[in-house]
Every structure is written in structure tokens, then in C-alpha cells.
Structure 1
């Protein structure tokens, strides 16, 4: 530190705070918000902390200072978080027997004109038709939009509430069983179907976990509303944890392969992500590229996921940059025939 200028000493102090914050934030992956919600709050900051620590590494390396080791060590400790945040290369294995699974939060097909553009519902329909997924999981599905998606099999579950929206699964494969988990005290939900493909039974969950009800574009944090915001988000974290447990318990009752996909309303550094991913692969980590951003904002937020049974081969994964909702659609090519 003696060889550092006053400015560099100040920067290293800031660097130390950010490195410590990142290190402590890792705990949010392992600690349930029902035990200590504070770490769930911190886990939301991990993407920002990763980028800021990377910037400090570059700064110290360019100045040939050993201070770069601090952030480097912290990032190496959390190497698994880097791979969740950014993927260097896309896996492209396109087999004719692949099943294409798409997950898309359509925000009620722009029913209330959040996007100031005409025919958003038709553009969503045209996009889906163009990509032609074999299995289509939609969150915030609204039945007032009579779009002919032209799938031979479907399961739609609408929750009775003021918005009258729900979930839908459309399939080119025969559905032999379906149902809803019916989250309590929530407008959100999870539904499932059992599909048959080449005599193989696959369970698909389409989930939408509790929203944190944070709008970074509109909500201004002030001293007056900060406590209300904190309590609201903490309550949402706890609801998410209970919803994740319900999904896991429901899944434990089957002995065939399963897939969990949908809008988690949380990132890849959260406890609910960790719990739902157990025994599964994150399709983005296996076959995606880039940040995999799924929520429309200036910063890369990945809150929509496709988790596959480890016996299912993920051959490709894409996030589509189409602004027909506040979420981007994601699609994976899956081979169910592997052992």
C-alpha cells in the first residue's frame, strides 16, 4: 500500500468493500430466505458485483499492481457464479429427433398496451409459429387472445383473480396427464404435463414464481418507502422459497425424467434457483452463449430458465431478442433418447 497514491488507496478501499460484498453475497445461494432473507437481497447484487470486481482487476493489472489478486481470488472462489452469468460459446448440435422446448412470459399478450405498438399479440403468434417449438410453455397467458397456436395437445390453467391470467402448455406430443399446483395466496402458479415421445414419458413443469414487485424503471427508492419495499421483497422471497419446496415435493412423486422451466422472478445466484436445479442441468450453462438476458432492462438479468433432467441431452439454447413483452423467449433443443 505504501507505493499506492492517495487515489489508488481510496480505490483499493472501495475495491475491498466490493470484493467483501461479493464474497458474502455467495451465501444467498445456500441460505433459505425463510432462515435469513438478508442474503437473498445480497444475491440480487451479484451480477453488478462481478462486473465491478472485473473492472478493478483490469485497472490493477494495467497499473501492474498486485492488488488485482483480491478481486481475482474472490471471483475464483465463486467461479461457478461466473459460468451462470456469462457463457463463452454456444453448443450447436441440431438433430432431427431433438424436441424444441420454448418458455415465454408473454405478459398477457400486451393486453393493457404496456408496449406502445400495434398487434403485439399477432407478432408473438407469428414469432412462435416461425420458431415452431414442439413444447411451448407460456406464463401470463390470457384467454381473451384467441390465437390459433394450432397444437394438437394443450393444458391451460387460468387463476381466478382480477387479471384473469394463467399458464399454458402446448405440445406436439401426446399429453397423458396434467395438473396445477395452485400456489396459495398468490397470483402466480405452476402447472405440469406428462408427455409421451417415442414411448418415453417426460414431465414438464411450467412455473412462475412470486414476483418481487420491483420495477427498476419506475420505482424510486426513498427513505419513506424503503422499509415498505424491503418488507414487500422479503415477503416475496419467502413465498418463492415455499413455492420452490412445493414444486420439489411434487416432483419427488414421479420416477420419470422431468423438466422445469419458466419465469423464476429471481436470478441464477438465488436459493430458489439452487434448490430447483438440484439433479438437473441449466440449459443455458450447457449450450447457451453470452449473458442470456431474459428480462428487458439495461442490465443483463437472466430470470427465466430451462432445467433438464441430467439424462436429457441439451444440444442448443437460445435467447431471442424480440421486444414483444418485458421478457425474452428462450428455447432449448433437447434429446430425450440418451441413457
Structure 2
């Protein structure tokens, strides 16, 4: 019986590792992109058991589990503290005002409005991105939103409402539908306190769940990457991607836009599911171009949603310093 159980578990581990390699857009295929850490640990358990227990075709099982474990470990290794960081943290120079940002998937059914209001008032971000917002959430947050000079919103009762609020000077701010579906994205051009114009992109595409393929999600992420790649402004992208940091979709997104990822070399900083520690995954993302100086990137406390709020603080070099131009040259040379 133990022999059969080990082989059945091993076969399941092999199948769930192989399925995402097909790049299928079917939800039950792409969902196995998410639990790579869990699959690698399960492969390790089977491997260790096979080493010390008499198993049919022992050498084959050990070899297969070793391959699976190594493959999965390679995928998630960048999101451990053992890897080199992609983005160094910088101290805010004297006289420079940093820009703080927060992205929050509120969970439409969540009713702990006061807990989120407390977090927003405490953190007091300069840019606030709220997802899954309906009319009920908007009414509950009306007072705290009143501290922002510019608010753009798409309220919906289908879990894809969105609010962007900022106190920074706004050059432009638009809601976009990059994949021509009903899940909006935000593209804003904002002025930092020192006068540097930068792009802020907010995303919340659909997840791979029954009834959804990943075709639209993947297209929305790709379209935003292509849109951003043509910009010479510093760019920041935040939001609930409904996609893990190590997926091929996210890697393509980074490659097309020359984005850097603060998670790399710092750990997973998993943002979902807030209620189940054993299921947590890094799906609420932050990406920055190399002309953005990152001060901090953190996960905040649970306020009743299935997602944790994510916060980041950045600053920008002065427009006349020449540093932004040097970094932009590096971006074009990299391409």
C-alpha cells in the first residue's frame, strides 16, 4: 500500500510540474503555476521516503523526484533570500520627498471597513489603488478618500471594481481595458514632489479559476508591458495580477518592459491567501523600472480580505540631475 501511495503521489507531482510547460490557457492547467513551492516540498517528501523505504522501481522514483525537486526549486529560487537582489534599497536624500503607494484588494464581500480605514489613515499613501470595490465599499471609504485631490473609479459588483486616488499633481489618469474585457486597468502620469513625471500602472486581471481561461489575463499583462516599454518615464506597476511572480507570463512582462522586481532576493512576501498561511502566494505585485529609487516594499496586516495590503515607498532623481537619462540610455541599450 505504501509503495502504491508513493508512486501515485510521485506521478501527481510529475503531472502538475509538466502541465504548465504546455503554456495552455486552460485554467486547470495554468493553476499549477501557483503552488510550485508546495509541489517541490511534496517531491522532496517522496524522494526522502523512497531513500529509506523499499519501493518498486526505487531508482526510477528517486531520479524522477530529484528532477522535479530541482526544476521547481530553480523556479522559486529567485524569490528566496539566497538569490541576488534585482533592486537595491536606497535612502531618501536630505531635502527629497519620497512617494508612498498602497495597493489593496479589499475583497468585495469583506465588511471590515473600519480596519482598512485605520490602515489607510495610518499609512497615508500618496497613491492608493483599491481593487474589488463596489458601491458599498466606496460609500464606506468616502471620508478617507476625501483627503485625495484626484480620484478615478470604476465601481462594479463583479469583483472587478477599481479606485485610484492620489494627492500628487496629475498630468493624466485613465481607466483602460487593455484586453477588451470588463476588467479595467489604470494608467496615470503623475508628478513627484520634485517635479519628475512618472507612470503609475494598476492591474487586476482575472484569475485562472473554473469558467476563466488565462488568455485574457495573459493578454492584459502583455499589453500593459508593451505599452510601458515605449515610455522613457520612470514607471511603477502595482496590483493584484492573479498570477505568481515566477510564472512565464510575469517573466515575459518583466522582459518586455525592462521591469525590475523588489521581491527577487528578498523572499516571497506572499500576499494571498491572508487567512491560510499554508496557501500563501506572491500574486500582488510591484515592478519598477531602473530609474525608480526604491526605499521600501512591505506587506501589511490582515484586515479581513483574502489579500494583504502591499505598500511601497520610492523617490525619483531630480529632472535635471542627468541620472534618469543615464538609466534610460541603459534601458535602450539593454533592449
Same fold (TM over 0.5): yes
**Alignment partner, residue 163 of structure 2:** 168
Unaligned regions of 5+ residues in structure 2, if any? 318-322, 328-335
Structure-1 separation of matches of 2:14 and 2:158? 43
By how many angstroms is 1:208 displaced? Answer: 0.9
Unaligned regions of 5+ residues in structure 1, if any? 1-5, 215-228
Q: Closer, same or farther in 2 for the Cα pair 1:151/1:272, shift >3 Å?
A: farther
Residue 158 (structure 1) aligned with residue 136 (structure 2): no
Structure-2 separation of matches of 1:14 and 1:303? 30
Q: Closer, same or farther in 2 for the Cα pair 1:12/1:163, shift >3 Å?
A: closer
**SS of residue in 2 equivalent to 1:138:** strand
By how many angstroms is 1:233 displaced? Answer: 2.9
**SS of residue in 2 equivalent to 1:77:** helix
TM-score relative to the length of structure 1: 0.73
Structure-2 separation of matches of 1:280 and 1:92? 14
Residue 295 (structure 1) aligned with residue 278 (structure 2): no
Structure-1 separation of matches of 2:82 and 2:143? 37
By how many angstroms is 1:19 displaced? Answer: 4.5
**Alignment partner, residue 42 of structure 1:** 32
By how many angstroms is 1:329 displaced? Answer: 0.5
By how many angstroms is 1:297 displaced? Answer: 4.2
Structure-1 separation of matches of 2:24 and 2:254? 15
What CA RMSD, in Å, does the superposition of the two structures yield over aligned residues? Answer: 3.6
Does the Cα contact within 8 Å between 1:94 and 1:333 map onto a contact in 2?
Answer: no
Q: Which runs of 4+ in 1 moved over 6 A?
A: 88-92
Aligned counterpart for 1:13 among listed residues 3, 7, 32:
7
TM-score relative to the length of structure 2: 0.73
Does the Cα contact within 8 Å between 2:19 and 2:32 map onto a contact in 1?
Answer: yes
**SS of residue in 2 equivalent to 1:24:** helix
Q: Closer, same or farther in 2 for the Cα pair 1:41/1:254, shift >3 Å?
A: same
By how many angstroms is 1:327 displaced? Answer: 1.4
**Alignment partner, residue 77 of structure 2:** 83
By how many angstroms is 1:39 displaced? Answer: 4.1
Aligned counterpart for 1:246 among listed residues 199, 204, 223:
223
Does the Cα contact within 8 Å between 2:105 and 2:130 map onto a contact in 1?
Answer: yes
By how many angstroms is 1:322 displaced? Answer: 1.3
Q: Closer, same or farther in 2 for the Cα pair 1:333/1:25, shift >3 Å?
A: farther
**Alignment partner, residue 180 of structure 1:** 175
**Which has the higher relative contact order, 1 or 2, with Cα contacts under 8 A spaced 6 or more apart?**
1
Does the Cα contact within 8 Å between 1:138 and 1:206 map onto a contact in 2?
Answer: no
Structure-2 separation of matches of 1:322 and 1:164? 19
Residue 104 (structure 1) aligned with residue 104 (structure 2): yes
Structure-1 separation of matches of 2:186 and 2:178? 10
**Alignment partner, residue 129 of structure 2:** 137
**SS of residue in 2 equivalent to 1:180:** strand
By how many angstroms is 1:51 displaced? Answer: 2.6
Instruction: Return 193-202 or 178-187, whichever deviates more.
Output: 178-187
- Aligned residue pairs, count: 300
Does the Cα contact within 8 Å between 1:179 and 1:192 map onto a contact in 2?
Answer: yes
**Alignment partner, residue 199 of structure 1:** 195
Q: Closer, same or farther in 2 for the Cα pair 1:164/1:61, shift >3 Å?
A: closer
Residue 257 (structure 1) aligned with residue 234 (structure 2): yes
**Alignment partner, residue 327 of structure 1:** 307
Does the Cα contact within 8 Å between 2:107 and 2:159 map onto a contact in 1?
Answer: no
Structure-2 separation of matches of 1:61 and 1:129? 55
